[in-house]
């Protein structure tokens, strides 16, 4: 598979974060997805405009997106290209605070706002045990420290809710949700706050691997007449 990882890479430069993710969040994601000879490209806010091209996206099976404090700095031309690629069939995985990223809110079409609180304990429950993203996981597992994300999460009705998160403070959250837009499959996954080593957890790694396999395209087609199509491509299959 050809996998593209975007991590905005802003917090990653700070000393406190190097203690948790010495290679950045993108480094941990790359390590998690380094299986079956996957070809992995990494980009951060600094070079996203150079790295992400129509050509690269046409060859990308699944794109992962982690962002937090610099959503507004992502160029709209990149968001347009990513949106178009998803409609054509590219899988898209939005991680943690990417719920407010430009491509995710564009693809889903709602505000994607939620409640949040620092530092809690989370128990993730598998709520769709037959879903490919839940394969090989226990009925539930815990993350000793994770940021609380709570309902109401303003998303369109998901195709499947694969995981529900319960927090020690009492909140519930739809932590793992799937959607379909055009020919593309989308997975939103809540864990992954930058202050905790969530992306090294063995169950989380399992979910990321399952998710990229699930989200890889079965079909890729231009969306004819899609309002987001490039004018030159409109009408071309
Ligand atoms: Zn966070």
Question: If you measure from the C-alpha of residue 95 to the centroid of ligand 1, how many angstroms do you get, rounded to a whole number?
Answer: 10
Alpha helices in the chain (DSSP H): 15-20, 24-32, 48-51, 54-59, 76-88, 102-108, 202-215
Q: Which two tokens stand for residue 23?
A: 């290679």
Question: If you measure from the C-alpha of residue 118 to the centroid of ligand 1, how many angstroms do you get, rounded to a whole number?
Answer: 8
pTM here? Answer: 0.94
Question: If you measure from the C-alpha of residue 231 to the centroid of ligand 1, how many angstroms do you get, rounded to a whole number?
Answer: 38
Summarised one tens digit per residue, pLDDT across range 4-29 is: 999 999 999 999 999 999 999 999 99
Strand partners, 64: 5, 93
Q: What is the pLDDT of residue 225?
A: 63
Summarised one tens digit per residue, pLDDT across range 68-110 is: 999 999 999 999 999 999 999 999 999 999 999 999 999 999 9
Question: If you measure from the C-alpha of residue 221 to the centroid of ligand 1, how many angstroms do you get, rounded to a whole number?
Answer: 35
Q: Which two tokens stand for residue 73?
A: 């700095």
Q: What is the pLDDT of residue 236?
A: 47
Summarised one tens digit per residue, pLDDT across range 153-171 is: 999 999 999 999 999 999 9
Q: What is the pLDDT of residue 229?
A: 60
Summarised one tens digit per residue, pLDDT across range 185-226 is: 999 999 999 999 999 999 999 999 999 999 999 888 876 666
Q: What is the pLDDT of residue 222?
A: 77
Phi, psi (deg, nearest 5) at residue 57 = -65, -35
Query: Does residue 233 carry a pLDDT above 60?
Result: no
* Residue count (the chain): 237
Question: If you measure from the C-alpha of residue 21 to the centroid of ligand 1, how many angstroms do you get, rounded to a whole number?
Answer: 14
Q: Which residues surround ligand 1, an ion (CB under 5 A)?
A: 97, 147, 193
Q: What is the mean pLDDT of residues 47-63?
A: 97
Q: What single DSSP character describes residue 230?
A: -
pLDDT higher for 232 or 69?
Answer: 69
Q: What is the mean pLDDT of residues 128-157?
A: 98
How far are the Cα atoms of 80, 87, 98, 222 from residue 229, in angstroms, in the given order? 9, 9, 24, 8
Q: Is the peptide bond before 220 cis (omega within 30 degrees of 0)?
A: no
Q: Are strands 115-126 and 62-66 parallel, antiparallel or unpaired?
A: unpaired
CA distance 96 to 153: 12
Q: SS3 for 179?
A: strand
Q: Is the peptide bond before 152 cis (omega within 30 degrees of 0)?
A: yes
């Amino acid at each position: 598979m050809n996998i593209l990882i975007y991590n905005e890479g802003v917090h990653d430069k700070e000393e406190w974060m190097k203690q948790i993710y010495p290679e950045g969040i993108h480094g941990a994601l790359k390590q998690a997805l380094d299986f079956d000879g996957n070809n992995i490209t990494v980009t951060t806010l600094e070079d996203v405009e150079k790295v992400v091209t129509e050509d690269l996206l046409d060859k990308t099976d699944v794109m992962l997106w982690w962002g937090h404090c610099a959503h507004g700095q992502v160029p709209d031309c990149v968001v347009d290209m990513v949106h178009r690629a998803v409609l054509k069939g590219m899988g898209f995985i939005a991680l943690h605070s990417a719920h407010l990223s430009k491509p995710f809110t564009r693809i889903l079409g709602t505000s994607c706002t939620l409640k949040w609180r620092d530092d809690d304990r989370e128990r993730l429950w598998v709520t769709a045990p037959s879903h490919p993203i839940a394969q090989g996981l226990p009925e539930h597992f815990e993350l000793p420290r994770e940021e609380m994300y709570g309902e109401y999460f303003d998303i369109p009705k998901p195709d499947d809710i694969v995981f529900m998160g319960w927090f020690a403070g009492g909140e519930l959250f739809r932590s793992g949700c799937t959607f379909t837009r055009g020919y593309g499959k989308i997975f939103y996954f809540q864990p992954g706050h930058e202050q905790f080593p969530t992306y090294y957890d063995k169950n989380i790694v399992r979910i990321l691997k399952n998710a990229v396999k699930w989200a890889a395209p079965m079909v890729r087609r231009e969306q004819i007449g899609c309002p987001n199509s490039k004018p030159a491509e409109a009408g071309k299959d």
